[in-house]
Amino acid sequence: MAKKRRKRRRYPKNWKQLAFACKERASWQCEECHEEHLAEKISQRIGLVYRMRLHAAHVGRYTKHPMLKALCPTCHGRLDWQLRKSHAEGTLEKHKHQLLLSSQ
C-alpha cells in the first residue's frame, strides 16, 4: 500500500485532466502504432478478446507539467523498456568510470 502512495505522489493533482487532454490531442489513437482507443484486440497470452485502452505515458522525467504521449499498452511497455535499458547502460558506464578513477 505504501508503495502505491509513493508512486501516486509522482503524479500532479490534475493527472486525470492532463491524461484526458493528452488522449484528446492524439485523437484517441496510439501516437506510435495508431491503434484506436477501445479497439477490440485478442490477447496473445490467453486468447481472450479485450478492448485496448490508451495510456497517457510519461516521456522523460516526472514533473508538475509532464510531457505525455498517448500510447497503447504495447507501445507504452516498449517505451518503458527502452528507458530502463538506457538508464541501466548509463549506470554501468558510471560504475566503470568510478572503478577506473579509483584504480589510479
Q: What is the pLDDT along the chain (104 residues), one digit of tens a residue?
A: 555 555 666 778 899 999 999 999 999 999 999 999 999 999 989 999 999 999 999 887 666 678 899 999 999 999 989 888 888 877 777 777 777 777 76
Domain boundaries in the chain?
2-102
To which H or E segment does residue 71 belong? Answer: strand 68-71
* Distance (Å) of CA 22 to CA 6, 48, 49, 63, 91: 23, 28, 26, 15, 31
- Count each helix (H run) and each strand (E run) in the chain, helices first: 3, 4
> What does the pLDDT read at residue 85?
86
Retrieve residue 39's grid coordinates. Answer: 479497439
On whether the pTM is more than 0.85, the answer is no
> What does the pLDDT read at residue 32?
95
Q: Give Cα 63 to chain centroid, integer Å.
A: 14
> What does the pLDDT read at residue 68?
93
> What does the pLDDT read at residue 5?
57
Q: Residue 47: which region, alpha, beta or left (left: phi > 0; alpha: psi -120 to 50)?
A: left
Rounded-to-integer distance, Cα 31 and Cα 50, Å: 20
> What does the pLDDT read at residue 6?
56
